[in-house]
Amino acid sequence: MSVRDKIRQMADEARIAEEEAKASRETLRQKYEEEVSPALERLFAFFVEMEENLNYLQPDIRPVYEIPGFGELRRLVQGNYQIDKGRKKILSRVPFHFSCDSPEVLRKEFDDNRKMASAVDRLDRAGLTFDSRKRLEGDNQGYGGHVTVNGHIPVSIVFRGLEETATIQLSIRNYYNLDSVKSELEPAQINDGFLEELASFILREQNNLMTVELSAEEKAHFSSLVDQEREKERRDRLRYLRDQLETEARQQFN
């Protein structure tokens, strides 16, 4: 096969791959509009109802949190449920917040600046409020100090629509301890059973929220996403080879 034939073949394959990718993007866009958006609307309505009812009932929920390096924060009471209502006309994100509050505080002394800075950084990333005071020596340089952690743990449950995959990302922060977990859901999973599990999760009752089994169709979808990524890598290789062939062709004609 001549160099020109190779270039022609590579270009044809690249055009076909580009058209297939365009069709895939259109399919995902349509799925987002028809399935993801209604699922987000359903979640929004669910959280509006939960905010109103839980703030009225004020169920007695008393978790205990382990604050790394400081110990257990006790006498916490969960409450102050809030759904962000400053929403856009078309939902892309549904955040729900609550907090666990205690009259207790945790205090720790540090004799090393780096350890103290590391502890403060972790508390700050978790969104906790605290007071830190450095110990001053004669030369006015900081040598350790103490950190006091206030009894306030902010918790968030956020659902976000992902246009690139037509799925929904679930992010949970500070629910178990000072950590974050993420999961990706198909819009079809946002059904009555899921909302029941979510309600139990918020109430800290037994639930299977983070262990929902994907259906065969949903597993196939995620498998197709892997195939799409492999196809993208193939197109990138084709473009690289095409550039090489074009360079060789120019060198031959010159």
Encode pLDDT of 197-230 as tens digits.
Answer: 999 999 999 998 876 544 555 555 555 655 565 5
119 is a domain residue: no
In a domain, 112, yes or no: no
**Residue 118 belongs to some domain of the structure:** no
For residue 179, what pLDDT is reported?
87
pTM to 2 decimal places: 0.72
Q: How confident is the model at residue 139 (pLDDT cuts 50, 70, 90)?
A: very low
Which pLDDT score is estimated for 22? 60
Counting residues of the chain whose pLDDT is more than 90, the rounded percentage is 53
Query: Residue 160's pLDDT band (boundaries 50, 70, 90)?
Result: very high
Task: Report the domain count for the chain.
Answer: 1
Can you give the pLDDT at residue 214?
47
Residue 94 has pLDDT above 80, yes or no: yes
Q: Label each residue of the chain as H, E or C.
A: CCHHHHHHHHHHHHHHHHHHHHHHHHHHHHHHHHHHHHHHHHHHHHHHHHHHHHHHHCCCCCCCEEECCCEEECCCEEEEEEECCCCCCCCCEEEEEEEEECCCCEEEEECCHHHHHHHHHHHHHCCCCEEEEEEECCCCCEEEEEEEECCEEEEEEEEEEECCCCEEEEEEECCCCCCEEEEEECHHHCCHHHHHHHHHHHCCCCCCHHHCCCCHHHHHHHHHHHHHHHHHHHHHHHHHHHHHHHHHHHHHHC
**pLDDT of 242 higher than 90:** no
Select the more confidently predicted residue: 14 or 168.
168
Listed range (9-18, 78-87, 166-175) with the worst mean pLDDT = 9-18
In a domain, 125, yes or no: no
State residue 140's pLDDT score. Answer: 46
Q: Indicate the pLDDT class of residue 3, thresholds 50, 70 and 90.
A: confident
Domain membership of residue 137 (yes or no) is: no
pLDDT at 41 over 60: yes
Say if 136 falls within a structural domain.
Answer: no
Residue that wins the pLDDT comparison between 75 and 18: 75
**Least confident span in 21-25, 97-101, 152-156:** 21-25
User: Is 114 part of a structural domain of the chain?
Assistant: no
Q: Has residue 157 got a pLDDT over 80?
A: yes
Query: What average pLDDT does the segment 71-99 reach?
Result: 90
What does the pLDDT average to over 9-26? 69
Residue 131 lies in a domain: no
Residue 2 has pLDDT above 50, yes or no: yes
Domain that holds residue 98: 3-104+151-253
